[in-house]
């Protein structure tokens, strides 16, 4: 699949939601733990060799599952192959929880659900649609019907 | 750069409703020819297929950080998706009608994750302010949404799965404060945020007096 790699590289240089050096193991059997700089930007998780400016790779975080893995680590896998896991090792339980929380929120689909939820709550409380004032109440992507059944 | 392309393909073809779909002509790189492709916008990803029945996209334009503009081009109904940066590419696309072009420009210019997150934070703050105390009046003019630097985002609550619009299902996360009982529709004619405190006090007072009267009569009976 073709994609605009330059723009993805540019995105990896944007201010990150979370960034840290973590141990990382690829999904292939027998892969070893490597130290990587891991950076969360928008709905992408970039990973770099610790001394390099360009990422080795990126993971789009849509339809993914974040799982706590012993000890003080987590894994990311994707709906179409849930057992194929990218594993990460943190240096503390706290750091691990921070990353898990951040990653679970780092998808467009999660944000969309949040928006629909808050919009609905505010509408129930005030009788007004908060998106009207922002001029986006008719956007298809913000309707309840846009959520997966 | 490695990319989880299988996941990307899954996102492209999953059965959730897309944010916009349709045929567009895409100018192929350095060559002047336009190719007609089936485009699917989902989130901040613009996928393109040979045709609507294709199982896998030919490619994807990751839209984060782009701007969308109308362009002067030989093709009618043309618009461009531009990125910042020295060697950044500009994608020139052409729709098949004025209406389709306008629909695409609108859909694409608000497709970024960043923008969506901004809107969510705005609503989250509004809701938190409402729950914390008296309902502040909702702003009458749209507040300008300034692009913000991503500092360390502080999210106070983990968001539960979304209930449907009509159900009030149990939530696994932190409980919101209990809501006052539902008011009947005999409300002051104006929207609540514009009514003065005195009027609200008087109106609620009447209701309380009526309820108290009922209760006292109820008590009087054997």
Structural tokens at position A44: 């992408």
Helix (H) or strand (E) holding B78: strand B78-83
B176 confidence band (pLDDT: 50, 70, 90): low
Q: What residue of A is the nearest CA neighbor of B82? A: A7
| pLDDT, mean of residues A55-77 | 95
- Region A106-122: mean pLDDT is 94
Q: How far is CA B144 from CA A134, B110, B119, B193, B208, in A?
A: 9, 15, 11, 21, 42
Task: Identify the residue among A11, A15, A60 best suited for mutation to test binding to B, counting B beta carbons within 10 A and taking the highest.
Answer: A60
Across A79-100, average pLDDT: 94
Select from A45, A66, A134 the residue whose CB has the most chain B CBs within 10 Å, as the one to mutate to test that interface. Answer: A134
Using CA atoms, how far apart are residues B15 and B8, in angstroms rounded to an integer? Answer: 14
- How far is Cα A81 from Cα A105, in angstroms, rounded to an integer? 21
Q: Say if residue B95's pLDDT is above 60.
A: yes
CA A116/CA A147 separation, integer angstroms = 9
Q: What is the mean pLDDT of chain B?
A: 76
The answer to whether residues B70 and B102 touch, using CB atoms and an 8 Å cutoff, is no
CB contact (8 A) between residue B66 and residue A117: no
Do the chains contact at A126 and B145, CB–CB below 8 Å? no
Token code pair at residue A10: 């540019």
pLDDT at A10 over 60: yes
Query: Residue B2: closest CA among chain A residues belongs to which residue?
Result: A57
Cα A46 → chain centroid: 10
- Whether chain A has a CB inside 8 Å of the CB on B201: the answer is no
Q: What is the pLDDT of residue B196?
A: 60
**Cα torsion B11, B12, B15, B21: sign:** positive
Residues of A in contact with B62 (CB under 8 A): 3-4, 7-8, 11
Partner A, chain B 162-181, Cβ-Cβ below 8 Å: 162, 164-165
Residues of B in contact with A114 (CB under 8 A): 120, 124, 159
Any A CB within 8 A of B88 CB: yes
Asked if B136 is an interface residue toward chain A (Cβ–Cβ < 8 A), one would say no
**pLDDT given for residue B185 in this prediction:** 43
Under the banding of pLDDT at 50, 70 and 90, the label for residue A86 is very high
Q: Which of B91, B94, B113, B80 is nearest to B36 (CA)?
A: B94
Contact B7, A60 (CB under 8 A): yes
User: In this complex, which of A3, A64, A133 lies closest to B3 when CB atoms are compared?
Assistant: A3
The fold of the A5-106 domain, in CATH, is PH-domain like (2.30.29)
pLDDT score for A141: 81
Name residue, tokens 């002509």.
B25
pLDDT, position A18:
96
pLDDT of residue B177: 58
* B56-77 mean pLDDT: 92
> Are the Cβ atoms of A14 and B65 closer than 8 angstroms?
yes
Tell me, yes or no, if B1 comes closer than 8 A to chain A by beta carbon: yes
CA distance B214 to chain A (A): 28
Task: With residue B49 as reference, give the H or E element that holds it.
Answer: strand B45-49
pLDDT one-digit tens code per residue, B18-33 = 999 999 999 876 677 8
CA atoms within 13 A on the CB side of B114: 21
**pLDDT tens across B126-139, in order?**
999 988 875 555 55
Q: Residue B154: what pLDDT?
A: 39
pLDDT for residue A49: 97
- Domain definitions of chain A by residue range: 5-106, 110-142
* Per-position b or e across B95-132, b if 16+ CB within 10 A of its CB: beeeebbeebbbbbbbbbbbbbbbbbbbbbebbeebee
């Amino acid at each position: 699949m073709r994609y605009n790699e330059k723009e993805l590289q540019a995105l990896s240089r944007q201010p990150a939601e979370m960034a840290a050096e973590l141990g990382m193991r690829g999904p292939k059997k027998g892969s070893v733990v490597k130290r990587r700089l891991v950076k969360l930007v928008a709905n992408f998780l970039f990973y770099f060799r610790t001394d390099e400016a360009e990422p080795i790779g990126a993971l789009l975080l849509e339809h993914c599952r974040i799982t706590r893995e012993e000890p003080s680590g987590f894994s990311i896998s994707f709906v179409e192959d849930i057992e194929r896991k990218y594993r990460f090792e943190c240096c503390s339980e706290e750091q691990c929880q921070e990353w898990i929380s951040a990653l679970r929120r780092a998808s467009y689909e999660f944000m969309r659900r949040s928006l629909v939820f808050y919009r609905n709550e505010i509408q129930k409380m005030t009788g007004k649609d908060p998106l009207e004032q922002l001029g986006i109440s008719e956007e298809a992507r913000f309707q309840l019907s846009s959520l997966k059944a | 750069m490695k990319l989880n392309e299988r996941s990307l393909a899954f996102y492209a073809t999953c059965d959730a409703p897309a944010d916009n779909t349709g045929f567009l002509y895409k100018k192929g790189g350095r060559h002047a020819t336009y190719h007609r492709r089936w485009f699917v916008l989902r989130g901040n990803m613009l996928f393109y297929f040979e045709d609507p029945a294709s199982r896998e996209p030919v490619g994807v334009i990751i839209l984060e950080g782009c701007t969308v503009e109308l362009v002067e081009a030989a093709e009618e109904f043309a618009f461009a998706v531009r990125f910042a940066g020295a060697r950044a590419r500009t994608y020139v696309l052409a729709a098949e009608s004025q209406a389709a072009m306008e629909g695409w420009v609108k859909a694409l210019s608000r497709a970024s994750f960043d923008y969506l997150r901004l809107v969510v934070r705005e609503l989250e703050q509004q809701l938190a302010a409402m729950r914390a105390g008296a309902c502040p009046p909702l702003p009458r003019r749209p507040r300008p949404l300034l692009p913000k630097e991503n500092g360390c985002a502080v999210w106070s609550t983990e968001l539960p799965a979304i209930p449907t619009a009509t159900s009030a299902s149990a939530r696994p996360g932190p409980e919101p404060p209990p809501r006052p009982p539902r008011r009947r529709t005999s409300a002051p004619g104006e929207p609540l945020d514009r009514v003065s405190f005195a009027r609200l006090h008087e109106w609620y007072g009447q209701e309380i007096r009526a309820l108290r009267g009922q209760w006292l009569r109820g008590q009087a009976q054997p």
